[in-house]
Chains A and B, each alone.
Chain A
């Protein structure tokens, strides 16, 4: 069941097409990576999901219904470019944003207390925003995003500007939210985070969708049948002639197999020659490599 479904979305600014017939589904309860180079149209897509902008053509469905105003209260959005009112106090600011998401004053008050406690920052309640460091205000911004307990979270570069400790804190929070069944759209340039965090991704470039799928499935789909084997001993002459060796170091080989062959065949060969294998594994492409390759070929 998909929580969100984008169907043939088109958005133009003047003559520039920011979204060109984009369709994809975001499954409920998954962490979904929305990837693409700068200017690919990610923010435009997010803005249409958050109803800041409206598509020129196409439909967005939320839980099977046409996306409408009532759904905005079930979405939490943390934009890449973040900001808060500098003169407001942390507590009143969070309550304000929560109330704009439909919470009553007392509900909002309770949630604010809960989250400040959770992050162990209760003493920030009466601090004014301008006193906070960047990392601190980032935390406040994160709380503002999740405070109304949304079903769908949209996090645009949530780790930018955070030190490793706070990054870890937010990351753990994202996983915790995911475990409780929240759907999360995660937009970033940092591909190592994608592999770590996302279940599924969609890749856009120049307003078009160029790739989508599960992270594991994509790595399989784009694998090049490369295997690395490390061993003890000396390779007998002529042994490599039958193999397509991509690179060879001392005691280590990277070999490409033609499709249809199995890794066991290579192992077999080494065993026959009585060479001791110390490690053997298939090399799968990183999401970063897939990203770069796909963007280049779509350009």
Chain B
């Protein structure tokens, strides 16, 4: 045990002392922020000519447009211009013009024979110089359907006031009978919190898992392992490395949380920004489903209703459990792989369950009480990610207890398997390792 402690210290201190550690600790939150800002920026980025001409030869739309607007796209991706020109000559001039000099990127033609009763036959045509993307096609279809509906309502003598009333949609308030805390908007808040936690574990499994793997590969490649294993048992070496890297991860997490607090409490107010204005909120608003301010407020309010005690107690346990379970497997793969980087296929059995877990997590935050959620939060290979995602949805004690129990059994099992692969693999040189061989190592004695 004393030797494991010495190994943990070395693994921890050498990593924390490296400039790279400080750099990732400081830059990761900045990078994360940039990523979110960039994703918002890219999603709203419009390039090229957004002007679309509309020529109505049927007269049905022109009559409507006399006292109504054809609204542009809210994000500025399409500007409509209702023009009274000859369609054929406009189309000809557009196709003849150089692409960047054309007045319009497309022209929508409503043929003379167009009928309200059968809008598909003859159909409206969108003649384009620049190909419209899927989003633009959907937008144009929706916009003209909308206009057509309004023309129909006009013909039925439905007043504009009435039309406005008809556009109002119903929004139910979703309230849990079992958990009084889960007020309206809670599901959304819990889902977001759950996904954030699920992703945190997902990312750290890969990040620190690879760190373990690289460390083992280094020891095997530079052969120090032979000296080490003559002093300590391979199992001690394995545990020392996993726990040492785990401590590095924990340190980094704590620093990140502290950093976020400092930035939020001291730095942002200085810049005149409050939490609500953070890019993540903006990203949710523009990227996610359109949300009215009212339910946004309910969601933010509900964040305060999350079961924080349960989360603070259990999230670190799942983090640790997942880390131990997968960390030992990453070490085993590193031992089998050595310097041979073209043996990446050995990683598939580890990476696949992690990736599947995050997909399950994304599903279960929408269906927190599904049987998929139940099973995936019990199976140790997926429970760290899936259960973390479910923690905000008030999990029953029996489920958490069973899940943790299985997780402990799971990592005892994988560590046992990994130790057997590790101790053979780490001394095996100059040979390509196959899965069948690794299986033999697991079952071989001493």
Interface residues of A (CB under 8 A from B): 14, 47, 50-54, 56, 69, 72-73, 75, 77-79, 81-88, 96-97, 99-101, 141, 144
Query: A99 to chain B: which residues have CB within 8 Å?
Result: 6
Verify B222–A100 contact, CB threshold 8 A: no
Verify B224–A100 contact, CB threshold 8 A: no
Query: 1/0 contact trace for B225-245 toward A, CB 8 Å?
Result: 111111111000000000000
Is residue B136 contacting chain A, with contact meaning CB distance below 8 A? no
Count of interface residues, chain B, beta-carbon cutoff 8 Å: 26
Contact of A85 among B18, B222, B229, B230 (CB under 8 A): B222
19 pairs from A and B in contact (CB 8 Å cutoff): A14-B440, A52-B226, A52-B229, A53-B446, A72-B230, A77-B226, A77-B227, A78-B227, A81-B223, A82-B227, A83-B224, A83-B225, A84-B224, A88-B14, A99-B6, A100-B3, A100-B228, A101-B231, A144-B227
Contact of A96 among B6, B225, B233, B427 (CB under 8 A): B6
Query: B446 to chain A: which residues have CB within 8 Å?
Result: 53-54, 56
Taking the closest CB of chain B, its distance from the CB of A139, in whole angstroms, is 15
Query: B445 to chain A: which residues have CB within 8 Å?
Result: 56
Query: B3 to chain A: which residues have CB within 8 Å?
Result: 100
Contact of A52 among B6, B14, B224, B230 (CB under 8 A): B230
Taking the closest CB of chain B, its distance from the CB of A134, in whole angstroms, is 13
A171-B245 Cα distance, complex, nearest whole Å:
40
A141-B429 Cα distance, complex, nearest whole Å:
21
Query: B7 to chain A: which residues have CB within 8 Å?
Result: 100
A97-B231 CB under 8 A given contacts A53-B446, A56-B446: yes
* Residues of chain B from 387 to 446 with CB closer than 8 A to chain A in the complex: 427, 429, 440, 445-446
Verify A87–B6 contact, CB threshold 8 A: no
Query: B222 to chain A: which residues have CB within 8 Å?
Result: 83-86
Verify A79–B6 contact, CB threshold 8 A: no
Contact of B227 among A69, A79, A86 (CB under 8 A): A79
Q: Which residue on A lies nearest to B232, using beta carbons?
A: A100
Query: A82 to chain B: which residues have CB within 8 Å?
Result: 223, 227
A83-B222 Cα distance, complex, nearest whole Å:
5
Given A47-B427, A52-B226, A77-B227, 11 further pairs, Cβ under 8 A? A53-B427, A54-B446, A78-B227, A81-B429, A83-B227, A85-B14, A85-B218, A86-B222, A88-B14, A100-B232, A101-B231
Q: Which residue on A lies nearest to B3, using beta carbons?
A: A100
Is residue B214 contacting chain A, with contact meaning CB distance below 8 A? no
A79-B232 Cα distance, complex, nearest whole Å:
15
A100-B6 CB under 8 A given contacts A53-B446, A87-B18: yes
